[in-house]
Each structure stands twice: as C-alpha cells, then as structure tokens.
Amino acid sequence: MVNYRICDFCGNLYAKRTNQMCENCEKVYLKLRSIVEVYPDTIVLDLSNQTGISVSRILSFVRSGYFIMKEGTIEIHK
Ligand SMILES: [Zn+2]
C-alpha cells in the first residue's frame, strides 16, 4: 500500500515521501535555491522572470519556511 498526501504547494496528490512537497515542487524549489545560492541579491520579481515560476509560488516557499524574505530578495533558510 502506498500512502498518498496532498502537496502543500500545488495541491497535487503524490506518493508519500519524506518531503512536504511533491517531486515537481521539489524541482521548482531546488531551481530557486540554486539561483539564490549563486545570486543572493536577486529580487523575487527577477527570480520569477528568469525561471517562469510565479511570485506567489515563490512566496509560498517563503511562507513554509524554505526561504526567508529580505527586502525584495529571498535567502535560503538553513
Ligand atoms: Zn507540488
């Protein structure tokens, strides 16, 4: 039996794993993370434009504690 849960970020059903998000959202998160790591001063709007990931999607990661919001930019939450 596989356990399913609803992804906190996109609302999709996925097979339960250790993460709080589905594979798709994890890819989105890792993509953002890799940019923020290299360019920590990138503002959220530019991040959104560069990646095609919507601002609200980025902010949902902030709300869940994956990133910390600074003045217009985000930081990886360690
Ligand atoms: Zn998801």
CATH class of the 4-76 domain in this structure: mainly alpha
Q: Burial of 59 by CB count in 10 Å (0-12 exposed, 13-18 middle, 19+ buried)?
A: middle
Residue 68 CA to ligand 1 centre (angstroms): 20
Q: What is the band of 19 on the pLDDT scale with cuts at 50, 70, 90?
A: confident
User: How does the average pLDDT of the chain come out, rounded?
Assistant: 92
Q: What is the band of 76 on the pLDDT scale with cuts at 50, 70, 90?
A: very high
Domain regions of the chain by residue span: 4-76
Residue 58 CA to ligand 1 centre (angstroms): 12
Longest dimension (CA), the chain: 46
Residue 6 CA to ligand 1 centre (angstroms): 8
Q: Burial of 37 by CB count in 10 Å (0-12 exposed, 13-18 middle, 19+ buried)?
A: exposed
Residue 11 CA to ligand 1 centre (angstroms): 6
Mean pLDDT (whole number) for 58-71: 94
Check: CB of residue 67 under 8 Å from CB of residue 75. yes
